[in-house]
Structure 1
Amino acid sequence: MMATSSILLVEDNQDLAETVGDFLESQGFVVDYAGDGRTALHLASSETFDAIVLDIMLPGLSGLEVCQRLRAEAQLATPIIMLTARDQLDDKLKGFDVGADDYLVKPFDLPELAARVGALIRRKRGVTNVYELGGLRLNVDTMEVWRGDTEIRLSKTLFDILQILMRESPAIVPRATIERECWGDDLPDSDTLRSHLYNLRRAVDRPFDQALIETLPGRGYRIRA
């Protein structure tokens, strides 16, 4: 697994900042906050972060100005993902022109933000995060799954469960471990994981000759060739 990553979250809407920050922390990130552009510029220049989530519309300095100054003046190479309420090509191009690495339009799905942040960090660290097992291939950066020449389309939750099983293979993964990594402290009812695993088997195993996912009653689950 990737080492704990630190995120600077720059958002002037306190409610949104808390929602996003809480979710990122539930995914294992350490989050620091800034509510305006000048504070963001100071923190990003004086402390070390693995990635910066930066809203464009900020009091003081805009997110575009902050990004530009971090790249040009501070020579900062930290991955930056911009957040904006405007889905206009010109806005996106401005963000990329000043040095942003990625761009996400509000409202956005929190799991997508976490996935994009993680991908940027892995790319910066030079980590590909591709798992291969028994003809099954999972790419964390692109969120693609293939079995042989067949692409398998999975929801975010099914993708996460499959990633956990492939990462730990051939070890047995307890139910509690999967639930904690997928849902954090907001644990689902007892049938939720069982239902997701049923759907995961339908996608990954049922169309093929060999089943890869195993259930070991009272112990957990595993995937092996």
Structure 2
Amino acid sequence: MINVLLVEDDIDLATTIVDYLEIESIECDHASNGVMGLNLIERNQYQMIILDVNMPKMDGLTMCKTLREQGIDIPVLMLTARDSLDNKLEGFAAGSDDYLVKPFAMKELVARVKVLAKRKSGEAKRLTFANLTLDLTAHTATVEAGNLKLSPITFKLLELLIREQQKPVTRHAIMQAIWGEEQPDSNSLKVHIYHLRKQLEQANCQAVLETIPSVGFVLKLKNETHA
């Protein structure tokens, strides 16, 4: 089943969209502004995002730019009442994958959602470490038969650590790779490290996330760690 996030401040329209998508067997969470949308994306996995351009607190263009700056490449469908070429180009420049002008037919929305959700459904690119597999296309992390429950940022963190092949990664390098120049406070990284470590332990993963004091973090094989 396709899992979608709708970010739309028009509650009546949002309700209509959510109800119609569910009839089409598409699960849809709803956020009424970009800030709420980013919070949901940090906690959940989505196959695509339907994003209104004009919203309070954080507009759709800013939200889309933020996602791309964080390395989150979930397909984005922009919704807007503006139909000029400049408006469309602005959306694409922000990182959107498609553009739908209001008012629109619900059947067209569903068709575009399905296309975007399946756009990356070709052969998956994978990273493996011990008994852990990362599917970079589906954005899933699997230990043997079970999936880890990772937010997009925690997934990005795990990908970075695996790519370094058991080499220590500094806190600064992690913050720069995940958040770029607009970095949150250090507590945000601590939360993601804690969550990733907990998920690996609960899944009986043979990879262990170690803290190296005054340096950063390293992903190692369980039998190579030091108590």
Residues 205, 213 of structure 1: 8 Å contact kept: no
1:183 is matched with which residue: 175, 179, 200?
179
- For residues 203 and 212 of structure 1, the distance between their equivalents in structure 2, rounded to whole angstroms, comes to 10
* 1:81 matches 2:124: no
Task: Give the equivalent residue in structure 1 for 2:83.
Answer: 59
Q: How many residues align?
A: 158
**One-letter amino acid of the counterpart of residue 141, structure 1:** T
Task: Give the equivalent residue in structure 2 for 1:75.
Answer: none
TM-score, L = length of structure 2 = 0.53
Residues 131, 206 of structure 2: 8 Å contact kept: no
Task: Give the equivalent residue in structure 1 for 2:166.
Answer: 170
- For residues 169 and 69 of structure 2, the distance between their equivalents in structure 1, rounded to whole angstroms, comes to 19
Shift of 1:101: 3.9
Q: Alignment partner of 1:224: what SS?
A: strand
- For residues 196 and 12 of structure 1, the distance between their equivalents in structure 2, rounded to whole angstroms, comes to 29
Q: Alignment partner of 2:128: what SS?
A: strand
Residues 134, 141 of structure 2: 8 Å contact kept: yes
Task: Give the equivalent residue in structure 2 for 1:102.
Answer: 116
Shift of 1:176: 0.9
- Cα distance change of structure 1 residues 162 and 85 upon mapping to structure 2, 3 Å threshold: farther
Shift of 1:129: 2.9
Shift of 1:86: 7.3
- Cα distance change of structure 1 residues 137 and 102 upon mapping to structure 2, 3 Å threshold: same
**One-letter amino acid of the counterpart of residue 107, structure 2:** D
- For residues 139 and 87 of structure 1, the distance between their equivalents in structure 2, rounded to whole angstroms, comes to 34
- For residues 195 and 56 of structure 1, the distance between their equivalents in structure 2, rounded to whole angstroms, comes to 35
Q: Alignment partner of 1:212: what SS?
A: strand
Task: Give the equivalent residue in structure 1 for 2:92.
Answer: none
Shift of 1:131: 0.9
Shift of 1:136: 0.3
Residues 212, 224 of structure 1: 8 Å contact kept: yes
2:151 is matched with which residue: 133, 144, 155?
155
Task: Give the equivalent residue in structure 1 for 2:66.
Answer: 23
Which structure 1 segments of 5+ residues have no match? 1-10, 30-50, 67-78, 104-118
Which structure 2 segments of 5+ residues have no match? 1-51, 89-95, 222-227
TM-score, L = length of structure 1 = 0.53
Q: Alignment partner of 1:187: what SS?
A: coil
Report the RMSD for the aligned CA atoms in angstroms: 4.1
1:220 is matched with which residue: 201, 208, 216?
216
Overall identity of the aligned pairs, in %: 23
- Cα distance change of structure 1 residues 223 and 86 upon mapping to structure 2, 3 Å threshold: farther
